[in-house]
Chains A and B, each alone.
Chain A
């Protein structure tokens, strides 16, 4: 596998940061800047998927769950901030005398909300991951279980109209930690926070990938049993990557809310989770930049093509999965290496396939 030298990819992150944080705000209109912010949220989740799936071999098909934990934590806080001391408008609509549900109450506090965005996904992913990895549930079983979780959570949210807003979701946020969201300057600030978080996530995975942990993670992906025989517990390695991915999805979800201004079950269900995977597969699951760039590309397609030509967009996403996985399993980021190899002539073989053996099943 042709890898960029560490300092080169660090430079790449620098260029990426300058583009996102300095060039984009001065070039793009408010509308496109907020769109780019939305793609950045998906990109943050995608970087996590790259960590868990690309490097760890765990196909996480339910990142919408952790996206939802962050998003709904943030949305509840912003809703309460907008409502002031009262009860949120949509709850009054169903029952004017209804008290605030107990689990909403702590989200009045800024500190609790920020803590919840970080702690909730870590705890949830920790418990789920511990239960599954310790029992050596992997491969397709793991993938479908995570997707089942996303389906279950989206259904649950849809059906609890009084507590979570149901299918209409939570929206109409006026303030973001005291800042008026209508103000363009504040919206730019929210964008900059999001883009900054994306860059920070890239830096974290860059460090992880070149650490011993990164090596161990790839080793676990490619030959889990061998890692076990060497004395490591693959379950712990996978658990860390899975929890990291969940945390990133939650952060992406949390920033999604002030940028887009609405969160609904449609953004967290199976379809949304699969769309997050699409970007990662497209960009290149195991590469550093692939997941983020792929997610931004898919997000852009979603908001431009997806609204003007929805039928065609579904076909394109479907075809994207088929073509990319079938012919380009390492995504677009593997193209340069392929070209180099092709230019060197047929004598030299391509780098060994990264996803050598995706171990299936739990028939241990």
Chain B
């Protein structure tokens, strides 16, 4: 059990963090076919927002709950800016958006490196996250439990928003069939912008959670973007449940491999697993059925 329970506990928290990072990515990718490589940097922006909020609000007990919505809005606005300034001109060339956003991510990383100290900034953990739960005799840090709760709340909120609001319906309609949605009178331009705002905002929330678990520095976003995309690829696009299962799978898998072997070998193994998985299910776990050939 020693080799199983700790990596499982740790891995589910890692999976929850990955899920938060991948949610927004899968939303924007699923709807627009746009791969936003700057998504990781939006996560970084969220983490730095948490730090800045702490400079204003002294008590770390209070600052993290405040930072969550603030980071959502700040990262979301950055995403909106990116959509309006660059991405909206490139919808016909989705593969090229990948490279353009690589450029954006380089610039954001370098800017963060120059604005903030290069070794990163400390984000203080709130007092109520000290301590741990005891699960089957093993310690489970409350920070990890918090990440899981946060991810659950975000997923539930996003699912409810997609399912029950009119905006959510418009987003789902656009994912299913953009042309038909447009014919039906949905302004896909507005929908795209809103999706980008929400997707990037979720990255900001993920950034706050990441700042509580790891370091906050200019390269933190780059660590998350590749695993987050692997989650999106394995989960399939356009549906939340695929992303959830894939995130937990990749998180637990990475954590178990890292526990049994080494961290670097775990990355290689996880990569091989995703490739093998794509052999079995090239569309990912779940996908929206369309009649398009491509």
Which A residues lie at the B interface, using CB under 8 A?
57, 59, 128, 131-132, 135-137, 139-141, 143-145, 147-149, 151-153, 155-156, 158-160, 224-225, 270, 274, 277, 281, 311, 314-315, 317-322, 325-326, 329, 355, 357-364
| Contact of A325 with B96 in the complex, beta carbons under 8 Å | yes
| Chain A residues whose CB sits within 8 angstroms of the CB of B107 once the complex forms | 314-315, 318-319
Count CB-based A-B contacts (< 8 Å). Answer: 147
The complex places the Cα of A160 from the Cα of B264 at a distance, in Å, of 9
Subset of 21 A-B contacts with CB under 8 Å: A59-B95, A132-B278, A141-B278, A143-B35, A144-B229, A144-B233, A148-B274, A149-B271, A156-B265, A156-B268, A159-B262, A159-B263, A225-B294, A314-B109, A315-B107, A318-B104, A321-B106, A358-B95, A360-B33, A363-B288, A363-B290
How large, as a class, is the contact surface on chain B? 35 or more
Name which residue of chain A comes closest to B265, CB basis: A156
Within 8 A of A (CB), among B91-111: 92-96, 98-100, 102-107, 109-110
Knowing A135-B282, A364-B293 touch, does A148 contact B106 (C-beta < 8 A)? Answer: no
| Contact of B99 with A321 in the complex, beta carbons under 8 Å | yes
Name which residue of chain B comes closest to A224, CB basis: B294
Please tell me if B57 contacts chain A, counting CB pairs below 8 Å. Answer: no
The complex places the Cα of A281 from the Cα of B106 at a distance, in Å, of 16
The complex places the Cα of A158 from the Cα of B98 at a distance, in Å, of 27
| Chain B residues whose CB sits within 8 angstroms of the CB of A326 once the complex forms | 86, 89-90, 100
Please tell me if B279 contacts chain A, counting CB pairs below 8 Å. Answer: yes
Residue of B262, B290, B294 with highest tally of chain A CB at under 10 A: B294
Please tell me if B283 contacts chain A, counting CB pairs below 8 Å. Answer: yes
Please tell me if B237 contacts chain A, counting CB pairs below 8 Å. Answer: yes
The smallest beta-carbon distance between B116 and chain A, in angstroms, is 14
Within 8 A of A (CB), among B246-294: 262-265, 267-268, 271, 274-275, 278-279, 282-283, 287-288, 290, 292-294
The complex places the Cα of A128 from the Cα of B33 at a distance, in Å, of 24
Name which residue of chain A comes closest to B276, CB basis: A131
Interface of A is mostly: helix
Knowing A311-B110, A321-B102, A358-B95 touch, does A363 contact B233 (C-beta < 8 A)? Answer: no
| Contact of A139 with B94 in the complex, beta carbons under 8 Å | yes
| Contact of A314 with B110 in the complex, beta carbons under 8 Å | yes
Residue of B92, B93, B237, B279 with highest tally of chain A CB at under 10 A: B93
Knowing A144-B233, A145-B274, A326-B89 touch, does A270 contact B222 (C-beta < 8 A)? Answer: yes
Name which residue of chain B comes closest to A143, CB basis: B98
Instruction: Identify which of A57, A144, A277 contacts B230 (C-beta below 8 A).
Output: A144
Name which residue of chain B comes closest to A281, CB basis: B99
| Contact of A319 with B103 in the complex, beta carbons under 8 Å | yes
| Contact of B294 with A318 in the complex, beta carbons under 8 Å | no
